Structure 1
Amino acid sequence: MGYCFFSTEKVKSQGELTSKYIHNYRQINVENADNSLLHLNEELLELGYDKNGVPKTYNDFFKERIDSLPYYKNHKIRKNAVHAIEVITTFSKGEDIDIQSWKKKNVEWMQNTFNVAKDKKSNIASIVYHADEPGNVHCHAIIVPIDENGHLNASRFLDGSKKLSDLQTSYAKDMEEFGLERGLEGSQARHQDIKKYYAGLNRGIEVDPPKENESALEYHNRILDQIQELQADSMRRRDEADREARRKIDEERIQQRKILERELLTAKSSISTDIDKLYKEKNDTEKEIALLHSQKAQIEKTVHDLQMQVDDFYKQQAFVQENIGKIEKYEYIEAQYRRLLQSDPEQAEMINSLLLAGNSEKEQENTII
């Protein structure tokens, strides 16, 4: 019977998410991957595309998932929050299992284990199957850890040895149908063929038997030389493996640093663009305010002119009213004069002469003044 293996890693930043995406989706040449086997890789749970038809990234999925949660409409993500969990699953090399069914079962287990949010939306960004790397086939899943309360909460799944042990047990239970069993509970081994490891321990070191006529001292010295050679070879292999591991770690750090630098440059460019936009909006607002002040002055002048016209109108109206009274008085006098002219022409003529004389004197007074 073979063994199934399961491991997790916390992804703590957008930069790490980008690095995981680049590796899992082979956006760069992966040194320990065989390019001739790339066609065997498969996206078991698709990440999908945005509205413009551009493939989404892990960062896109993270943002959409957070934006869909009511809690984060008025709450910020904690600075030390775990953004995602990477889950890697595999089994001991050399096991003859139905690989298609195994892939399908892995997807089902991931969905049943990590999709616990009440909004029923998937927490799993994608699941990628790799068959192009040395060792054995395996799956990479990136999970945004949203709990039952709609909060970003990696502790819900990972904190404490019991939770991790329960996850291992749960995964092993689903893998039993493929003839795979759980590794040694409590073991610190990661991604190793446990069956082969224990077999090597039990087998021990095989040594040559004594040669004919070989003394015990000669046999002892020969076997000691062999053991020392084995030890030296083991140390050399260990040192080479250590150097290779350190080199890969350094390369990954350099790659992550480059990614972070690009993200920083992008952020600075975005901030600069936003500042320029704000300055433009400020200038436009100031121009609008100046225009409003000018319009206000024009309106005030128009109101003043209208008030002057109203005052002139009232003066003219008073003048007209005054003249209408005079006209009416004159017409009354003229009517009386005509009646007098008909009834007593002489008296009418006398009154007219007096009026003419009075007007002439008034004109002379006005001339003197």
Structure 2
Amino acid sequence: MAFTICRIQKIKSWGALARSEAHTVRKVNTPNANPQIKNLEVIGNCDNLDLEMIVRNKIGSQKYRSDAVLAVEMLLSASAEYFRPYAAYEGGNYDKQRLDDFVEAVVKWLDNSWGDGIVKASLHLDEITPHIHAYLVPLDERRKLNCKALFGTRVKMYQLQDSFANALGHLGIMRGVKGSVATHTKVKKYYAAVNQDSQLLDLERYIPQPQAQEGSVAYRQRVIELLDPQLEVINQQLRERDRVLQKLTELKQTASVSEQLRYSLEKELYSLRANHSRQNLSLSEVAYELG
């Protein structure tokens, strides 16, 4: 059974937007991404402007708070069972028709929900499971920058998940359990896939030295941003290991029951064959079999 995956990441600074774009367009090294596979733009402009310029143009000259959400990155996908129903664990593979149907449904949902507020969306095929990164400039009905009006409450987030699931329901993709956070993954860490080579966290390598005149808060934030992807890789692998172990336990239990059933059926078959054999024996042979 396949489930929807819909995550959002609020972007509040131009630097954060640039880092997000650097990942989605592969300007920086991306763990587990195949550099031989080209990702596809499914919504975008024809002027080849960078994402910051596109967002600035969409916001226009209006004034906004210093902590306003400038853009919202969406990660939209489905569990692997949808894209490769007969080989869910073979990362990188997918059924072409299922992928096309998924992309068509997602693009239609984005357009119906936010129209030209979606300034860019790209289909990623170079990682384990196909997914779409979309960027929304959160303008309200007055065309004012207002992310709170769109995603500011728990109810609105539930509505987002419901809406996305409804858009994919005809494909057999279901919404996850409401309120569940067990499988949620932050957008910027999605690429830390579970079948990446096991990692050891080398703190001396990853923790940077403080920069000149860098405050403690800024330094702490920079360290978190550097370590988060590595920690998420490890955490994802641990969660996947637990899931596989649980699945293995269930399979062993199923195998045990199946083996007992096989043994019982073999005994019954042997008994039936023996009875059939006796029916074809002569009277003297029956007497011999009975002792």
What range is the shorter-chain TM-score in?
0.5 to 0.7
* CA drift at 1:243: 3.7
Corresponding residue for 1:63? 56
Equivalent pair of 1:85/1:143 in contact (CA under 8 Å): yes
Partner of 2:162: 169
Counterpart contact for 2:206–2:226, Cα < 8 Å: no
Residue 126 in structure 1 maps to residue 120 in structure 2: yes
Choose from 169, 182, 185 the match for 2:178.
185
Q: Which residue of 2 aligns with 1:110?
A: 110
Residues 256-295 of structure 1 aligned to structure 2 (within 5 Å):
none
Relative to structure 1, the CA distance from residue 48 to residue 17 in structure 2 (aligned partners, 3 Å threshold; closer, same or farther) is farther
**Aligned amino acid, residue 121 of structure 2:** I
CA contact (8 A) 2:3 2:173 kept: yes
Give the deviation of 1:46 after TM superposition: 1.8
Larger Rg: 1
Judge conservation of contact 2:75–2:134 (CA < 8 Å) in 1. Answer: yes
User: Are the equivalent residues in 2 in contact too, given 1:7–1:190 (CA < 8 A)?
Assistant: no
Query: In 2, distance between residues paired with 1:111 and 1:133?
Result: 25
> Which stretch shows the higher mean deviation, 244-253 or 13-22?
244-253
Paired with 1:182 and 1:26, the residues of 2 have a C-alpha distance of 30
* Separation of aligned partners in 1, 2:160 and 2:183: 15
1:16 aligns with 2:16: yes
Secondary structure in 2 aligned to 1:113?
A: helix
Alignment of 1:36-51 (within 5 A): 36=36, 38-39=37-38, 41-49=39-47
State the secondary structure of the residue aligned to 1:94.
Answer: helix
Quick one: percent identity of the two aligned structures? 27
Structure 2, unpaired ranges of 5+: 86-94, 186-197, 208-221, 228-291
What are the superposed Cα offsets for residues 214-260 of structure 1, whole Å, 9 maximum, x if unpaired?
A: xxxxxxxxxxxxxxxxxxxxxxxxxx779499969859549xxxxxx
Alpha-carbon separation, structure 2, partners of 1:31 and 1:57: 23
Matched-pair contact (CA < 8 Å) for 1:47–1:57: no
**In structure 1, what residue type is equivalent to 2:131?**
H
Which TM-score applies when normalising by structure 1? 0.47
Deviation at 1:171, TM superposition (A): 0.5
Q: 1:82 to 1:99 in 2, by over 3 A?
A: same
Corresponding letter in the other structure for 1:78: R
Which residue of structure 2 lines up, in the alignment, with residue 233 of structure 1? none
Residues 47 and 56 of structure 1 are in contact (CA less than 8 Å); yes or no, is this contact kept in structure 2? yes
Distance in 2 of aligned mates of 1:247 and 1:181:
39
- Matched position secondary structure for 1:108: helix
How far the C-alpha of 1:142 sits from its partner, in A, is 0.7
Which structure has greater helix proportion? Answer: 1
In 2 relative to 1, CA 149–132 (structure 1 residues): closer, same or farther, beyond 3 Å?
Answer: same
* Residue 25 to residue 251, structure 1, CA distance change in 2 (3 Å): farther
1:45 is aligned with what amino acid?
I
CA contact (8 A) 2:117 2:139 kept: yes
Bigger relative contact order (CA 8 A; separation at least 6):
2
Q: AA paired with 1:108?
A: K
Unaligned runs of at least 5 residues, structure 1: 50-54, 116-121, 193-239, 255-369
- Select 2:133's aligned residue among 135, 140, 144: 140
CA RMSD of aligned residues (A): 2.8
Pairwise CA distance, 1:30: 1.5
Partner of 2:7: 7
Match of 1:173, as an amino acid? Answer: N
**1:157 positional shift:** 1.4
Distance in structure 1 (CA, Å) of the matches to 2:20 and 2:173 = 28
8 Å Cα contact 1:145/1:154 also seen in 2: yes
